[in-house]
Structure 1
Amino acid sequence: MFQQEFTYETRPVRVVFRPGAAVTATPDEAARLGLRRLLVVCGSRGEPTAREIADALGDRCAGVHAEARMHVPVEDADRAVAAARAAGADGCVAVGGGSAIGLGKAIALRTGLPLIAVPSTYSGSEMTPVWGLTERGTKRTGRDPAVQPRSVVYDPRLTLGLPVPLTVTSGVNALAHAVEALYAPDASPLTSLMAKEGVRAMTQALPRLAEHPRDEDARGRALYAAWLCGACLGATTMGLHHKLCHVLGGTFGLPHAETHTVLLPYALAFNAPAAIGALSVLRRALGADDVPRALWDLTGRLGASRSLAALGLTEAGLAPTARSAAGEPYANPRPVTVEDALAVLRAAYGGGPP
């Protein structure tokens, strides 16, 4: 039956997608937005690329701030905001993965400066108005139109050097956005189409990239999939899966993409009885009847960690994570008790088939 009641809001973002665009298109996007003093933010791994982009910006570059870290610690955000103000910046360019883009969003949230995103992983953060900050072991997230990048420059060549393990986990991170969008209470026919296509494109690209990491066509397909999956996340409400990941990342410092990769099959298995429509779409996209098992098989086959224990979490962390995840209201197809959340976490801690 056609979904006849829904709401879908488009946001003002311009996308440039082409090989080589990072250096050639970013200055054009800055000029189009009328920006004259841009602070370039990145992490240590992405600094060489960020400095190439800074050079391409020429006189429009007000400096490079290479201090982005996972989960955006609030003290990092404070320093980045101070750097932007000290440089007299009228905008920011975030170069890298979710950490760099998250730091750029923190600057935009505090200052209102427009943001240009140049992603080098498949996090999808560049397509969302979602921000996150970690303070004293707690990760807070929110939505604000001010943090939505005004321009996104996708350059598949930036991802050619992405190590295979990070390629796989970053890609599954993107899949998680699409999966939760399919059963979100504010899903729409358009987000469902984007989610299905994003899952299809990513699950086709990842096996190719595991064997041929510098396959530019597969890199382009994966980046295209990340765009779609990120757009789904930006338009819908997150559920149990993302809540657990945020708690584990903010409280225990677990790596973001790897945590998404481990948890996704188990969170989906828990929600499956209440997400029949989503499972039907995912079966067609993946060509598999048992979707949680198919995702678990895929990540294991591509060499990703399958358990929270392998990521460094101790068993003592399971109960407080479950209490935190169940103790706050959020949208999910099934109600989540502390016992439910703990069962999901225990399964993910053991790493066996969901």
Structure 2
Amino acid sequence: MTQNQTQTFTYNAAPARILFGAGRAAEIADELRRLECRRALILSTPAQQQLAEQIAQQLGELYGGSFTEAVMHTPVAVTEKALAYLQAQQCDSIVALGGGSTIGLGKALSLRTDLPQVVLPTTYAGSEVTAILGQTENGIKTTQRSPRILPEVVIYDVNLTLTLPPALSATSGMNALAHAVEALYAKDANPIVSLMAAEGIRALARSLPRVVAHPDDLAARSDAQYGAWLCGTCLGAVGMALHHKICHVLGGTFDLPHAPTHTVMLPHALAYNAPAAPQAMRVIADALGTDDAVRGMYALAQQLDTPLALRDIGMPGSGVARAAELVMQDAYWNPRPLEQQAIAAMLARAWAGETPAS
């Protein structure tokens, strides 16, 4: 922008309370009391049941029960089961402990009940700071926005991420990067969100290799968590584009793992949109410390030793054409017009693990 140009934009700040720092999980009970809650339901996946039990002991008289059956893509059937348990336990609040699976379940419950949520992320998913819910029913994943979905409190305690294996840390971080990348060329992009996006990309690009190489590096994990918070905030502030639509289709229809799907698809979606979003590509490249956004993102994925092919994470080759067809239905806005044949070709490259190409 030149000196004589003016700007026009809209920025909506999400009214979430953020507590950031090592050891701050100890403040859960205080936050529940501040929200005037008396009986909290703890949510987790089966793998994090032990951590959920520790939080339950910490809550004492504020503990109302635990539901430890959260799974990927927030199936409506699981939400309905959790809702019945919540009501039977007469809980008045939700404590979601984990990554996107648990956070998604908490959001789905809050959408149906309007109960306050306190979230303790253990991954870099970023959905904890958005008013967006993606849920799956009959093999189709849909999204919706509502103020009721946004958690009231998010506690970023880096100690809770120490058990996240390096491989999952890498794909979770790449998932977070996708939020910032698409925020930079979003239809409703604005300077504030773009600053957060660039800083989020920069923080994750420098921290994720350290986390993978030295999983017990608390400073690196804290830096990654900081980047993930910024990227998630971008996701909650502006609309997303082709990359997120593709990942919703692949996850909801083929039950692919969420973060690895984002990881595989991100460089390919960048390549598709690069010709139509040159300014965003320059910002991304600069934040990655490279001269090309697409090559830089693909090189980061390679450095982190993440999956590079959809076929390696469970995608059937026969599903490529169907996926391209579904992407075209109720399509998200995108800087480059969506062309089914071009999208199918991109998905075919991603399925085979080929180098991204415009």
Normalised by the size of structure 2, how large is the TM-score? 0.97
Q: SS of the residue aligned with 2:148? A: helix
Say whether residues 1:9 and 2:9 are aligned partners: no
Say whether residues 1:322 and 2:324 are aligned partners: yes
CA–CA distance in structure 1, aligned partners of residues 203 and 292 of structure 2: 19
Percent identity between matched residues is 50
| Counterpart selection for 2:283 from 281, 284, 301 | 281
How far apart are residue 11 of structure 1 and its match?
Answer: 2.0
- In the other structure, the counterpart of 2:99 is 97
| Counterpart selection for 1:125 from 124, 127, 141 | 127
Q: Which amino acid aligns with 1:256?
A: H
- In the other structure, the counterpart of 1:268 is 270
CA–CA distance in structure 1, aligned partners of residues 203 and 52 of structure 2: 28
User: Structure 1: where are the runs of 5+ without partners?
Assistant: none
Contact 2:180–2:200, Cα closer than 8 Å, also in 1: yes
Q: Which amino acid aligns with 2:35?
A: L
Q: Which runs of 4+ in 1 moved over 4 A?
A: none
- In the other structure, the counterpart of 2:142 is 140
CA–CA distance in structure 1, aligned partners of residues 284 and 39 of structure 2: 45
Contact 1:3–1:189, Cα closer than 8 Å, also in 2: no
CA–CA distance in structure 2, aligned partners of residues 31 and 327 of structure 1: 45
CA offset digits 1:231-256 (Å, max 9, x no partner): 00000111110001001101111000
Taking only aligned residues, the RMSD between alpha carbons, in angstroms, comes to 1.0
Question: Aligned in 2, Cα 1:347/1:21: closer, same or farther, shift over 3 Å?
Answer: same
Q: Which amino acid aligns with 2:20?
A: F
Contact 1:201–1:221, Cα closer than 8 Å, also in 2: yes
CA–CA distance in structure 1, aligned partners of residues 189 and 56 of structure 2: 39
How far apart are residue 138 of structure 1 and its match?
Answer: 0.4
How far apart are residue 3 of structure 1 and its match?
Answer: 6.4
- In the other structure, the counterpart of 1:160 is 162
CA–CA distance in structure 1, aligned partners of residues 201 and 14 of structure 2: 22
CA–CA distance in structure 1, aligned partners of residues 102 and 62 of structure 2: 20
Say whether residues 1:112 and 2:87 are aligned partners: no
How far apart are residue 261 of structure 1 and its match?
Answer: 0.2
How far apart are residue 187 of structure 1 and its match?
Answer: 0.9
Contact 1:180–1:239, Cα closer than 8 Å, also in 2: yes
- The number of residues matched between the two structures is 353
Worse-superposed segment, 254-263 or 344-353 = 344-353
CA offset digits 1:270-291 (Å, max 9, x no partner): 0001111111111211111121
Q: SS of the residue aligned with 1:147? A: coil
| Counterpart selection for 1:311 from 306, 310, 313 | 313
Contact 2:132–2:149, Cα closer than 8 Å, also in 1: yes
Question: Aligned in 2, Cα 1:296/1:3: closer, same or farther, shift over 3 Å?
Answer: farther
Contact 1:308–1:349, Cα closer than 8 Å, also in 2: yes
CA–CA distance in structure 2, aligned partners of residues 253 and 229 of structure 1: 24
CA offset digits 1:149-178 (Å, max 9, x no partner): 000000001111110110000000000000
Matches within 5 A, 1:293-308: 293-308=295-310
User: Structure 2: where are the runs of 5+ without partners?
Assistant: none
- In the other structure, the counterpart of 1:353 is 355
How far apart are residue 126 of structure 1 and its match?
Answer: 0.3
- In the other structure, the counterpart of 2:217 is 215
Worse-superposed segment, 295-304 or 60-69 = 295-304
Q: SS of the residue aligned with 2:47? A: coil
Q: Which amino acid aligns with 1:67?
A: E
How far apart are residue 340 of structure 1 and its match?
Answer: 2.1
Contact 1:30–1:36, Cα closer than 8 Å, also in 2: yes
- In the other structure, the counterpart of 2:239 is 237
Contact 2:107–2:150, Cα closer than 8 Å, also in 1: yes
Normalised by the size of structure 1, how large is the TM-score? 0.98
Question: Aligned in 2, Cα 1:108/1:90: closer, same or farther, shift over 3 Å?
Answer: same
